Every structure is written in C-alpha cells, then in structure tokens.
Structure 1
Amino acid sequence: MSSYGPAKRIVGLDKNVWVEFSALAAETKAVNLGQGFPDFATPGYMIEALKEATTHANPLMNQYTRAFGHTRLVNALAALYGKFQNRTIEPTKEILVTIGAYGSLFNSIMGLVNPGDEVIIIEPFFDCYKPMVLLAGGVPKYIPLKPRENAESTKDWILDPIEFAAMFNDKTKMIIVNNPNNPLGKVFTKDELTMIAELCKKHNVICISDEVYEWMIYTGNKHERIASYPGMWERTITIGSAGKTFSATGWKLGWGIGPENLMKGLRVVHQHSVYCCPTPLQEAVAVGLETELARFGQPDCYLTSLAEELEEKRNKVCKVLHEIGLEPIVPDGGYFILADVSKINVDFDDGTSDTRDYKFVRWLTKNVGVATIPPSAFFSDDHKYIGEKYIRICIIKEESTLEKGLELLKTLNK
C-alpha cells in the first residue's frame, strides 16, 4: 500500500458544507432552501441559443474555442461591463472566461498570491476563499462585519474602520470583497467601498471583487463597482457569473475582468489547468448578454426583472419568518436570508462538537423537512460565534417551493 498522502497544504481542507448538507437534503427528501440554485428554468431564449449553437450553427461550435474566452462572449462582456464601469475594456487582453466564478477566484488567487502573502477576507465569506488562499501558500487574515445589537437588516452589519485599517501591512497582497455578500445579502455602500479603495491604494493591495450577485439589488440600494473608483481599475479583478446572472448555475461559466498586467497571472493558471471552456455554452451566454444589453431599461430585461421578482419573494419570506419568531436579517441584495433561530426551544444536540447552527440545520432537515445552510461555515474559527445563531435560507425558488418550506417552518412555532 502506498504511504503517500495529500500534500501538506490541503490536509484538513476536505470538509465541505455543501457536500454534507446537499447529501442530507437529498437523503431526507427535504424541501431544499439550502444550496443556492434556482429550481426554475433559465430564460427560454438562452436554451434556444444553446440548441442553435450545438445543432444548426457553425460546426466549429462543437470544437475548442479561444482559450481565454470565446470571441463573441468576450466582446459581449466588454460591451456590458464597459457601459457600467464607464471605460473601454479590451476584450482579448482584459477579460478571461473561466469554469464558473469559482474558476476566476481560483485563477486570481493562484496566479497573484505568493507563499507568505497575506490576504484580507471580509466575513462572512464564501467558503472557498480560505482553502484557495491556503493552497496558494497565502496567509488568510479575517475581519468580520459585526451586527449591531438587535440588527434587523444588512445595513446593521458594520465594518469597523479602525479595526479594518489595522489589518493592512507590508505583507498584505490582496483583499477579497464579496458584493453583494453571500450569505448576508449586504450591499456595500459608496462610503464603505471608498474606505476599502483608499486602503488598497495606500498599501498597494490587489482587490478581488466577487460580484456574482451584481444584478440582484433591491429597492433603495445601488450596486457600486469598486473597479470604477479612482485608482482602482489598475488593481482590481472583477468577477462575474453567467450561472447567477441567467439562473443557470449548471452552465458553470464565469469571468474575471481587470488590467492586462494582472490578468496575465490568471491566464497562466487557466491555460495550464482548464485551457478553455465549453464553446456552445459560451456562444449561448454571449447571445444572452447581447440580448440583455439591448433590452436594458425595458421591463423584459432579465438583468433587472429577476431582482424585482426576488424582492417580492424576499418580502414574503421575511414577513413569515418574523411572524413565526425566526427574525430575519433583511437583505439588500443577493438571494439569501439569514434567520435568527436562537429563540427556537428544541433539543437539537447531536453529540458532535460542531457549532450550534450545524447541529440545528441537521435537526431541522431531518425532523422538520426543510434543508438550510449553517452560516458559521462562512466565518473563520475565531468568529464562528457571530453566525451560529442563524440559518441561511435561499429564496431563488418557485413560489410553490417557498410556500411548502414556510409551512413546514411554521410548525416550529407550535
């Protein structure tokens, strides 16, 4: 038997919240309000575009395409993001198409972080940030958004400016900002992003701006793109997702956008791992982006209409959660809601040493039939206490799915 084991850097990184709780949801046949994917179809014209790409279009659509992004797609991305970042983006040098936003995150961190570099991660954070930084040999440094007492909305979760400024030093290479934030749904304000930008410029730090929920912004809020701030384009990689944009998470296409000198690092990782992404999927996403850019500002624009639909779902779910004593943190964007379950008086201890929310989510899935996600998975060990009194609920579901899940949750109050 071989004595070889995993490389030192990946020891202990095998645990994954999605693996455990997706399997548990399937095993128990629970209503799945956990993992963040829609249970409804992507726009019909996208499906037709994919059919066209694989059947009637140029036969080369079923072959390799340009390694760093299908030409039609990078041109569409340049047109869309050029409009909203108010600059001309060079499609062949400043855009990289990847296997999901996950791929862009991985390429950014592996391509730009050297062993010993410190990477600031704002909490709560999408759980892949930490292992990716560790795989690159980087040193993750965590700073939490802290809820005010009796916090009711994501505006009540604050980044302390003094504590934040103290995180930066001569070892700091990068900061990762998720805006809107998963799982919290916080939309960072202009003042908050200006604070981040000024510290990045002062300390010559790269900013990875994970903006996969960029189109899901609710009334009274605005999505600010930090790359458009003075002095930030040259140090920012903006990451987007076709899966989130078009409710097609299984298509697994994403992109990174930034200055050519930074994008070179991403390209090296990409070309020696994935090489290129599926051609017909890229063609279909290009059609989608072209269509939505032409429709922008009109009622049938999916980039804006999806947010309107989700806002109605958010309002309905938050109302019911409030009525049954699961006080919600009302999100300003994204498609998740954190609900406070600390008042639920049931015995959910499962004998493990896991945090309270892990135990509660297991109990809820098995005994109530509703699958959710434990938010402490999005915090470092020192700050898991902030997330463990909540559960994360996904609202990008059919009305029937939400209604069934909410009816089951109401039994907690009986």
Structure 2
Amino acid sequence: MLSNKHKMAKRLEGTDKNVWVEFSQMTLEHKALNLGQGFPDFFPPDHVRRALVETANSTNQMLYQYTRSYGHPRLVKALSDTFSPMYDRQINQNTEAVVTIGAYGALFGAVQGLVNPEDEVIIIEPYFDCYEPMVKVAGGTPVFIPLRSTKNSSPLSSADWKLDPVELESKFNEKTKAIFLNNPNNPVGKVYSMEELNMVADLCKKYDVLVFADEVYEWLIYHPNQHIKIATLPDMWERTLTIGSAGKTFSVTGWKLGWALGPENLIHALQCVHQNCAYTCPTPTQEAVARAFEYELSLMGKPECYYNSLPAQLNPKRDRTAKFISEVGMVPIIPEGGYFMVADFSQIDVDLGSEDDESKDYRFVKWLMREKKLAGIPTSAFYSQQNKHLAENLIRFCFSKEDSTLEKAEEIIKKWKESPN
C-alpha cells in the first residue's frame, strides 16, 4: 500500500468533479436534446474549413512537423495584425503573444506562471468553472464576489447584473495577485460597461493587481452593446493578460486553439509554463486559423465579416429561445453577449425530490433530462460553495444551434406545456 506522501496533494482536493463530464454523460444516457454544452452544432464558415483542407493537402513539408513552441509564425503575425489596431499599439508577435491548447491552456498557463502559494485571486461569480480549481492547483486562494441582480421583474437582462463597488473593493488587499474578468460573462452574458471596467481598473492599479481577461466571446456582442477590452484602458496593458479562442471566434471548438496577448514580462511567465507542459500546438490547425484570420482581415468592418455575421445569425436564435422557454413559465435573462441564456425556473411547479447533497438547480436539470428529454446546465456550477444558493433557481441553455435543433426544443416545450407533469 502506498504511503500518505503518494496521495493526492491537499491543494488538488475538490478539483476532481466536473459538471461537463457528469452532464454530458447524463445527456447521452437520457438521449436528451443537448442545449447544455457550449458548442455550435452548425458548420464553421466555408473559408475556415477550406483553410484546414488546403493545409492538409499542402506541399510544404514543414506544415507536417513541429512548429514554434510559442505560436506558429503565421498565426502570431495574424494575431498581431488583427488585434494591434484594437489596442492602438503594435503587438510584438514574438514576445507579446502565445498560442495555447485552447483558451483553457492560456488560462492555466497564466495562473500557473503568475500565481504563487498564498496569493489571493478574485473570481467574479458566476464564473467559468475552471477558474477556481486552477487557482487552487497553483496554491493560491480564490476570493469570490458575485454579480448581483438589481431587478426582479420581466424583462430581465444581463445588464441588470452588477458588481457592488464597496463589496468589490473589500476583496482587494496586499495579498491580491489577480482578478478574473470574463467579458462577456459565461454564463449570464453580461457585457461590462466602460464605467464598470474603469471601476475594476482603478482598483487593480490602486492595489497593484493583475487582470486575467477572459474574452473568448468578444465577437459575440448583440446590438447596441459594445465590447471594450480592459487592456485598452489607461495603464492597463501593463497588467493584463487577454485570452482568446479560435473555437469561439470561428465556431470550431474541437480545434482547441487559444492564445494570450499581453506585455512581455507577463507573456514570458505563460510561455515558460506552456513550453514545459504542451510545448507546442498542432501545426495544421495553427496554419488554418492563421489563414482564417487573414481572410477576415480583408473583410473587417463589412457585414459579411464573420465577426459581424455570427452575432447577426445568433441574435434571432437568442430571441427565439427566450420566447419558447417563457411559454412554460421560465423567465429568461436576455444576454448582451455570448451564446448562453440563463433562465429562472422558480415558477415551475414540479416534484424534484429532496436529495440533501444536491442543489435545486441540479435536481431540476436532471428532472428535465429524464422527464422532458431536454438538457441544460445547472447554473450553481458556476458559483463557489458558499454562494451556490444564489443560483438555485437558474438553468443555462446554449442557443448557438441550428434552427432545426431549436425547433426540436420548441416541440419539447410544446408537449411540456400540454402535459406539465
């Protein structure tokens, strides 16, 4: 028998559970329509698919071998060409960018490279569920602050979810190393205003705190909202790592390619983790994403640019989803960005059982899959243990789906309405 020194490290405790693993398996078992996980079920743009085909058929032998560890040269150049104008500065493609295995890889590298034991990291709730375990694995201490709903009557919007300025500053102190800022927010779809971003930025400068800016949904913004990069605010480039995702940008989540942009000293820490973990990312997908960025650069600002056409395509899907879930008594929170919709199901009267070890939203999602064959995600999965009660009546749906998928969901809702129990 192995001794205690071979058991799981103390800081790994509680990081083994994963909502995606659990509910993906349950969705399959119940043969439920999947509006839970965040991925499109439609094809990416033709030029993105064509870029991968052309790469696979290339006569350039080097595209079949390892590429530069910190990012394929063509891709980091495309990232610099795309994002430099947004920051109003020339991003050095070699020292101020790194390409990773998905945005997950960028987030992990940022936390592992910059967070030390006993450092505190502020996490705004609801949050993408990997933030908390990543901080714990690095030996840091997560400090939570919830966005609080400021409105309780329909119509509800993600803009109603706000940070309390006094409460927020109370989370900062001399031990605070960084804050996660997910903009637009997953799952609620909040797009932070300039006023809110300035509030966060001012505190970060006052307490000398870094920002891990998770902006994977930066292009999925619904009119008239606008996405503002916190790194573009005065004196914020120097303390911000901005994370992006090819999967979310081009609807190719299976390609698992992400990146981080930021000042050389912060990027260097992430590079050190990356080179000793993944070392490099697949060359063909990096080449294909580079070509996709180059193509979109030629269309920048035009309606047919995917950065514009994708939210235009998703906007009616968002409104359609809000309409049909309302028909059974759920109250949708209309997102300003992203492709998720959180809904309040507290007015629905069903027997969910009384398991002591599970919150109400978990039991509701399981009931919904079992009885109605419709899958969502319990929103308390995006909260810390002490604040899960704030989401006990909330469920998350993904509306980035084919119209035929949403039509099936409408049929489920129609039958549910006709036979509630």
What TM-score do you get using the length of structure 2 for normalisation? 0.96
Superposed counterparts of 1:175-214, under 5 Å: 175-214=179-218
Amino acid at match of 1:374: P
Give me the whole-angstrom Cα distance separating, in 2, the residues matched to 1:108 and 1:310. 31
Match of 1:120 among 115, 119, 122: 122
Alignment correspondent of 2:176: 172
Alignment correspondent of 1:255: 259
Structure 1 residue runs of 4 or more that deviate by more than 6 Å after TM superposition: none
Give me the whole-angstrom Cα distance separating, in 2, the residues matched to 1:238 and 1:388. 31
Give me the whole-angstrom Cα distance separating, in 2, the residues matched to 1:407 and 1:148. 33
After superposition, the C-alpha distances for 1:188-212 in whole angstroms (9 at most, x for unaligned) are: 0000000000100111100010000
Q: 1:70–1:283: 8 Å Cα contact kept in structure 2?
A: yes
State the shift of 1:322 in Å.
2.4
Amino acid at match of 2:169: A
State the shift of 1:388 in Å.
1.5
- Between 348-357 and 87-96, the greater mean CA deviation after superposition: 348-357
Amino acid at match of 1:111: G
Give me the whole-angstrom Cα distance separating, in 2, the residues matched to 1:57 and 1:371. 45
Provide the secondary structure at the position in 2 that maps to 1:239. strand
Q: 1:30–1:365: 8 Å Cα contact kept in structure 2?
A: yes
State the shift of 1:87 in Å.
1.1
Give me the whole-angstrom Cα distance separating, in 2, the residues matched to 1:2 and 1:52. 52
Alignment correspondent of 1:229: 233
Give me the whole-angstrom Cα distance separating, in 2, the residues matched to 1:94 and 1:189. 26
After superposition, the C-alpha distances for 1:344-394 in whole angstroms (9 at most, x for unaligned) are: 111112635211000110110111000100000001112111111011000
Give me the whole-angstrom Cα distance separating, in 1, the residues matched to 2:392 and 2:286. 39
Q: 1:325–1:413: 8 Å Cα contact kept in structure 2?
A: no
Specify every segment of 5 or more residues in structure 2 that has no aligned partner in the other structure, as ranges. Answer: none
Provide the secondary structure at the position in 1 that maps to 2:280. coil
- Between 82-91 and 99-108, the greater mean CA deviation after superposition: 82-91
Alignment correspondent of 2:102: 100
Alignment correspondent of 2:16: 14
State the shift of 1:148 in Å.
1.8
After superposition, the C-alpha distances for 1:25-68 in whole angstroms (9 at most, x for unaligned) are: 11111100000001111112212211221222411101000000
State the shift of 1:323 in Å.
3.0
Alignment correspondent of 1:137: 139
Alignment correspondent of 1:163: 167
Provide the secondary structure at the position in 2 that maps to 1:354. coil
Alignment partner of 1:312 is 2:316: yes
Provide the secondary structure at the position in 1 that maps to 2:7. coil
Specify every segment of 5 or more residues in structure 1 that has no aligned partner in the other structure, as ranges. Answer: none
After superposition, the C-alpha distances for 1:207-264 in whole angstroms (9 at most, x for unaligned) are: 0100000000001100000000000000000000000000000000000000001111
Alignment correspondent of 1:63: 65
Alignment partner of 1:76 is 2:86: no
Provide the secondary structure at the position in 2 that maps to 1:137. coil
Alignment partner of 1:241 is 2:233: no
Alignment correspondent of 2:282: 278
Provide the secondary structure at the position in 2 that maps to 1:337. strand
Alignment correspondent of 2:365: 361
Superposed counterparts of 1:315-394, under 5 Å: 315-349=319-353, 351-394=355-398
Q: CA RMSD in A?
A: 1.1
Alignment correspondent of 1:54: 56
Q: 1:349–1:360: 8 Å Cα contact kept in structure 2?
A: no
Amino acid at match of 2:103: A
Q: 1:184–1:331: 8 Å Cα contact kept in structure 2?
A: yes
Q: 2:324–2:413: 8 Å Cα contact kept in structure 1?
A: no
After superposition, the C-alpha distances for 1:168-207 in whole angstroms (9 at most, x for unaligned) are: 1100000000000000000000000000001001111000
Provide the secondary structure at the position in 1 that maps to 2:310. helix
- Between 349-358 and 63-72, the greater mean CA deviation after superposition: 349-358
Q: 2:100–2:258: 8 Å Cα contact kept in structure 1?
A: yes
Give me the whole-angstrom Cα distance separating, in 2, the residues matched to 1:309 and 1:296. 17
Match of 1:29 among 28, 31, 45: 31
Q: 2:327–2:413: 8 Å Cα contact kept in structure 1?
A: no
Percent sequence identity over aligned pairs: 54
What TM-score do you get using the length of structure 1 for normalisation? 0.98
Give me the whole-angstrom Cα distance separating, in 1, the residues matched to 2:203 and 2:10. 33
Alignment partner of 1:395 is 2:402: no
Amino acid at match of 2:289: V
Tell me the matched-pair count. 414
Give me the whole-angstrom Cα distance separating, in 1, the residues matched to 2:46 and 2:138. 40
Amino acid at match of 2:408: K
